[in-house]
Structure 1
Amino acid sequence: MAKVRTEYVCQSCGATSPKWVGQCGDCGQWNSLVETHAAPKAARSGGISGTASGRIQRLQDVSTEESPRVSTGMPEVDRVLGGGIVPGVVCLLGGDPGIGKSTLLLQVLASVQGRLPTLYVTGEESLAQVRLRAQRLGLTNLDVPVLTETSVELILAQLGQHKPAFVVIDSIQTLYTDGLDAAPGSVSQVRECAAQLVRFAKATQTAIVLVGHVTKEGAIAGPRVLEHMVDTVLYFEHDPGSRFRIIRAIKNRFGAVNELGVFAMTDAGLKEVSNPSALFLSRHGDPVPGSVVTVSRQGSRPLLVEVQALVDQSLIGTPRRVTLGLENNRLNMLLAVLHRHGGIALGDQDVYANVVGGMRIQETAADLPLLLAALSSFKSRPWPDDWIVFGEIGLAGEVRPVAAGEERMQEAAKHGFKRAIVPEANKPRRSAKLGIEVLPVARLDQALELL
C-alpha cells in the first residue's frame, strides 16, 4: 500500500512546504500553512492540451481556423468576452456576494438556450432555489438542465454523458475531488478541481464558466494560479449604494483586456446600459468649480467620465490626499509638478479627488484633467461644461500624448462637447473632421493659461 505523503499548503498563495512553518516563504503571510495530503500522481498527471497526439508539430503546420463564436444575446457580455462564447474557453467570474453573478449567468443561459446545449451546476443552492430565482427574473420559459453536485468526478461524469456545449459551475470553491483529503474551498481542492475542469474543457471543446468567491480585499479566493489556468478572468465592480454594475475583463486570451460591460440591477435582473457615458457625468445646472470631463479608454471603448476635485484649507499639520477611482501616489506626484512647473503651491491644502459613478481610471490620460480640476477648485473658477480634457503630464512639465486621441475626440463630439484640450502630439490631421475645436498644448503652463 502506497504511503500517503503529507505537505503543508499556504492558503494565501498556494505554495507548498514539506513541514509547517509560521511564515510562508513565498508571500510572507503568517500562520497560513495548512496540513493536507498530497495529490496522487494519477490526479496530477496530464496536460490541458486535450490533443490526442503528443507528437511535435511545426508552428506553420498548426491549423489557425477558429471555431465560430456564439453570441450570448447580451451585447455587453459579448464585449467583455471578446465577441461571444468561444468553444473550449474557461472563464472565471468573480465579485462580491450578492452583486449579481448567479443572476447574470442565469440570464445568459436563458438567452443561449435553443442554440447551445447547456448545463447549470450549482453547489450552493438547491434546485428549488434556482427555480425561484428564475421566476423572480421573469424567466418563465427557462428550460435549462440543472445539476446539484459538488464532487468534480461526478460532475465530469455527467458532462461526459450529456455533452453540453456551455456549462456554468457555481461555484468553484464548493467543489472537491476524491483524490484529496482537504476541505472544499482550500487551496489544494480549488487548484485540483479547476485543473480537471480545464483539461475537460480543452479536450471536449466545452465552454465553462466558473463562479469564484472573493476575499475581503476583493481578490478571487484561492490560489493565484487559478487565474493563470483559465482563459478569461472577469470581475464584477460596483459603487456601494448604486444599482449599476460593471464587469471588467482582467484577462482574456480571446479578446482585449480592460473591456467594460455596464449593467443596471432591476427587479427583473441585470439590464444592459446602452449609453454608459451618461452614468459617469453629473448633469450640473450651471458650471461648478472642481469638475472637469475627460475621455477614458476602457479596452476598445472610449467613455466620458467626470473627474472631480475639492481643494480646501487643511486644519491639521499634514494635509490629506484622498482619491477614489484614481491612484493616490500619482496625485501627490502631479501636485509636485504643479508647484514646480506651474508655480501653484497646494502644500497646505487638503486635496480630494473622485471619479463620478464609481469608475476606476488606471491610465495616465487623466493627469491633465485631474490637475485642472484641482486648480479650478482652488481658484473657485468653474470649468466650461462643454470642454473636455485629456493628456499625460511628465515630471518635466510636458504634456505627453495618449493612445487613440482622435477616437476620444470623436466620442466627445457625439455627446455635444465643443472644445477639447489635448496634447500637442494628439492634434488631429488636417483631413480629419471631428466636429470639435481642438486646443493643443505642449506644456502644463499653456494649459493653465486657458483656465
Structure 2
Amino acid sequence: MVKKSFFVCSECGYKSTKWLGRCPECHSWNSFIEEVISTEGKLDFFFPPEKKVSLESVSSVEKKTIERFFTGIDEFDRVCGGILKGQTILLSGDPGIGKSTLAIMIANSMSQFFDKVIYVNGEETNHQLKLKFERLGVSKENIFLFPEINVDEILNQISEEKNIFIIIDSIQTIFTPVFSALPGSLIQIRESTYRIIRWCKQNEVPVLLIGHITKGGEIAGPKVLEHIVDTLFFLDIDIKGNYRILKSLKNRFYRTEEIGLFAMEENGLVGVNEIEFDTFDVEGKSGVAFYIGLEGNRVIPTEIQSLCVPTQFDYPRRISEGLDINRFIMLIAILEKNLRIFLGKNDIYLNITNGLNISDTASDLAIILSIYSNYKDKPLPINFAFLGEVGLSGELRYVKNLQKRINDCNRFGFKNIVIPYSQKEKIKVNEEIKIYPMRFIKQAIEFLFS
C-alpha cells in the first residue's frame, strides 16, 4: 500500500509538502497538521468523474423558478426562508441543546415533500433514535434511518434514489477510508463534507448536516467547512436558559438578520412567537428602563435593569450581563461627562432581563437612563420606552427601523416614547402614543426626572 503525507492548514485548507510555521495563504501561525493518504486503488473512487461542463454565456443560461420548501416550523422558516433543492445546510450548537430534536422535526416536515427522508445516524443506534422519534410523535413511513459512517457506503446507498432529503447526524462522525486519519479529524471532516456536498449539488438533493462545536464555541473541523456550505445555522441558548435561539450566520438564499426562538418542552422544541413580557412588577422601581429591540423583522421589548452601589474595592466594578462590557463602560463615561457626575466610587451592574445579548445601539439611551435612575434612586415614568443611539457628546443619534419599532409599542403597553430629535418628522404615530423627541441625554434626563 502506497502512503503519502502532506501538511494542511487547519484554518484555510492550504496544502504543503512540508511543515510551515505560518500559512502563506491565511497567515495563521502553527496551523499546519500532517495528513496521510493511502493511494492504493482508491483515488479513482474518491474522485469520481463529474458531469461534463462547458462555457455558457450568462444571457443563455435558462432561468428556472426556484421552489422553496417550508417546514411549517414557523421559527425555523423565519430564519431559513425555505429549503431549496441542492441546498447544503450546516446546523451547529452545544451538546444537548436540541440539534437532533430540531433535525427530527425538520425530517417530519420534509417527508410531505419528498419520496424519502434519509436520516444518517452516525452517533446513535436505530433503537436509540427510535425513542426520540416516538417522544416527538414522528412515525412517517417514508423516513428511513441509516446507521453508517463510511461516506462511500452512504453515497452508494443514496446514489440511485430520487426526490430525497438527507440529514447527517453528525458530520464529525463521517469518514472516508482513503485517509488513515480517525473520524473527526480535520481532513476526514473536510473531505467527507466535500464529497457529500458535491453529490448533493449535482443531483439537486437538499442536505442538513449537523455539526459539533469546540470549547471555544467554534464549529469543530476546518474553517473551510463554513465556506463550502450554502447555509450556516447556530443553535444557541439564552443566558438564563429559557430559550433556544436559532441564528443564521450565513445564507446564500435568504437574509441573515432573523432569529428564531424556541422553548424546549417534553414534546420537543416549541416556537415562541413573543418573549414573555410584563411591566407591572417593576412599576415604581428605580434602575429600570425599557427599549424596543429589533432582530430582523421580530420586535423584542426589552427590560434593562441597573444597580449602582458604593464600592468596597480600590477599583469600582463594572459587570454587564447581555451587553458588551466595553460599550457598557463607554456609556458610563458619556453619562459622567455630560451630567457632570462622578461614578468612580460606585460599582455598577447591568442586566438584560430577557436573557438575550444586545448589540443594537438603539438601546444606548435606555441603558444610560437606567443607570442614572438607580444612581439617583428615582424611578422613570411608567409606560415609557426609550430609543436612541448615544454619541460621545451625549447627542441622540439615528435609530434604524424606528417606525417598525414604534408600530408595535402599543401592544406592549408603551404609550410614551423618547426618540432622537432628528427623526421626529420621519415617523407616523396613532393617537394613543405620544412621541418626545430629544437632542441630548441631558435634555431627556431633565424632562424625565423634573
Per the TM alignment, residue 90 of structure 1 is displaced from its structure 2 partner at its CA by 0.9
Change (3 A) 1:342 1:146: same
1:136-164 Cα deviation digits (max 9, x unpaired): 22334564111111111221222222234
Matched letter for residue 111 of structure 2: Q
Matched letter for residue 129 of structure 1: Q
Per the TM alignment, residue 383 of structure 1 is displaced from its structure 2 partner at its CA by 2.1
Residue 400 of structure 1: aligned partner: 397
Change (3 A) 1:142 1:416: farther
Per the TM alignment, residue 33 of structure 1 is displaced from its structure 2 partner at its CA by 4.5
Matched, 1:233 2:229: no
Greater displacement, 96-105 / 391-400: 391-400
Greater displacement, 282-291 / 325-334: 282-291
Residue 386 of structure 2: aligned partner: 389
Residue 102 of structure 1: aligned partner: 100
Secondary structure of 1:357's match?
Answer: coil
| Cα RMSD for the two superposed structures | 2.7
Pairing 1:124-273 to 2, within 5 Å after superposition = 124-141=123-140, 143-239=142-238, 242-273=241-272
Secondary structure of 1:194's match?
Answer: helix
Query: What is the aligned counterpart of 2:343 among 343, 346, 351?
Result: 346
Matched letter for residue 163 of structure 1: K
| In 1: Cα distance, 2:288 partner to 2:428 partner | 32
Matched, 1:446 2:443: yes
Matched letter for residue 371 of structure 1: I
Pairing 1:85-124 to 2, within 5 Å after superposition = 85-117=83-115, 118-124=117-123
Q: Contact 1:110/1:142 (CA < 8 Å) preserved in 2? A: no
| In 2: Cα distance, 1:13 partner to 1:56 partner | 30
Greater displacement, 216-225 / 4-13: 4-13
1:317-353 Cα deviation digits (max 9, x unpaired): 1222222221111111111211222322222222222
Change (3 A) 1:226 1:401: same
Matched letter for residue 93 of structure 2: G
Matched letter for residue 7 of structure 2: Y
Matched letter for residue 53 of structure 1: V
Query: What is the aligned counterpart of 2:374 among 373, 377, 382?
Result: 377
Matched letter for residue 438 of structure 2: V
Per the TM alignment, residue 367 of structure 1 is displaced from its structure 2 partner at its CA by 1.3
Q: Contact 1:338/1:345 (CA < 8 Å) preserved in 2? A: no
| In 2: Cα distance, 1:434 partner to 1:51 partner | 64
Matched, 1:71 2:97: no
Q: Contact 1:119/1:164 (CA < 8 Å) preserved in 2? A: no
User: If the length of structure 1 is used for normalisation, what is the TM-score?
Assistant: 0.90
Matched letter for residue 281 of structure 2: H
Equivalenced residue count is: 443
Per the TM alignment, residue 24 of structure 1 is displaced from its structure 2 partner at its CA by 7.3
| In 1: Cα distance, 2:383 partner to 2:119 partner | 48
| In 2: Cα distance, 1:69 partner to 1:441 partner | 45
| In 2: Cα distance, 1:395 partner to 1:142 partner | 62
Per the TM alignment, residue 398 of structure 1 is displaced from its structure 2 partner at its CA by 1.5
| In 2: Cα distance, 1:309 partner to 1:230 partner | 42
Greater displacement, 310-319 / 281-290: 281-290
User: If the length of structure 2 is used for normalisation, what is the TM-score?
Assistant: 0.90
Per the TM alignment, residue 13 of structure 1 is displaced from its structure 2 partner at its CA by 6.3
| In 2: Cα distance, 1:198 partner to 1:241 partner | 37
| In 2: Cα distance, 1:15 partner to 1:354 partner | 44
| In 1: Cα distance, 2:224 partner to 2:5 partner | 21
Matched, 1:55 2:55: yes
Q: Contact 1:88/1:208 (CA < 8 Å) preserved in 2? A: yes
Change (3 A) 1:44 1:121: closer
Q: What stretches of structure 1 of length at least 5 have no aligned partner? A: none
Secondary structure of 1:133's match?
Answer: helix
Percentage of matched positions with identical amino acids: 35
Per the TM alignment, residue 65 of structure 1 is displaced from its structure 2 partner at its CA by 3.5
Secondary structure of 1:76's match?
Answer: helix
